[in-house]
Amino acid sequence: MNIEQALQQRRSVRAFTPQTVPGEVVRTLLETASQAPSGGNMQPWRVTAVGGQALKDLSAKAKVTEPVQRPGLSYPPGLWEPYRSRRFENGEELYQALNIGREDKNARLAQLAKNGEMFGAPVGIFIAVEERMGYAQWVDLGIYLQSFMLLAAEKGLASCAQGFWRMYNDMLLEQLALPGGYQIAFGIALGYEDTSAPINQWRSSRATSGEWLALQGLD
């Protein structure tokens, strides 16, 4: 599989099989992803991978922990176009794939709660960063994340990046025994895709390049 194929294959998978992923495979993927570039070679990521009973315990802890929205670490307030429509349409299409109507709030909340179970994935990965770091270092985290997900796709593994876990920052810092001064940037569910799951038949759309691309001085 080449890079273009990995890019086309990678998507946010929200239902996994129980098939386990060997720890050495997880370690190799995470270590290889560290070849991602970072400003000043700071490599600001701190990574913790969890599986087995430890992941089950973490998911159980999340169920009894009150989520806390963290200002500035989610969508901007008063979201404007075209981003507002893109986000709205993405959510509607996701729930349509599950035959969940807009009026069925309980079913929508139940689907959201599956984030806390890593959508059934056998491996949960948590990326943390020091609170003192700025926007540029968060960009570095994104580069690391994409590098990891493409490497996973190459190995036939599925993934889903989850901002959901930022709402459980304090609980995760304690459970993962992270040093003081860190915060959770995101989680990643990792495993093998359940190809029979309806949610995995849906794939989010992409804006045409005419909406965001300009070429200047190029033939």
The tokens of 180 are what? 């003081």
Q: Rounded to whole angstroms, how far apart are CA atoms 30 and 166?
A: 20
In this structure, whether the domain defined by 13-69+116-202 belongs to CATH 3.40.109.10 is answered with yes
Q: What is the DSSP string of 132-158?
A: T--HHHHHHHHHHHHHHHHHHHHTT-E
Q: What is the DSSP string of 16-72?
A: B-S----HHHHHHHHHHHTTS--GGG----EEEEEEHHHHHHHHHHHHTS-----TT
Alpha helix positions (H), 64-216? 83-97, 105-113, 135-154, 169-175
pTM for this entry: 0.94
* 3-state DSSP assignment of residue 9: helix
* pLDDT tens digits along 76-134: 999 999 999 999 999 999 999 999 998 999 999 999 899 999 999 999 999 999 999 99
Q: Tell me, what's the pLDDT at 70?
A: 86
* pLDDT tens digits along 157-211: 999 999 999 999 999 999 999 999 999 999 999 999 999 999 999 999 999 999 9
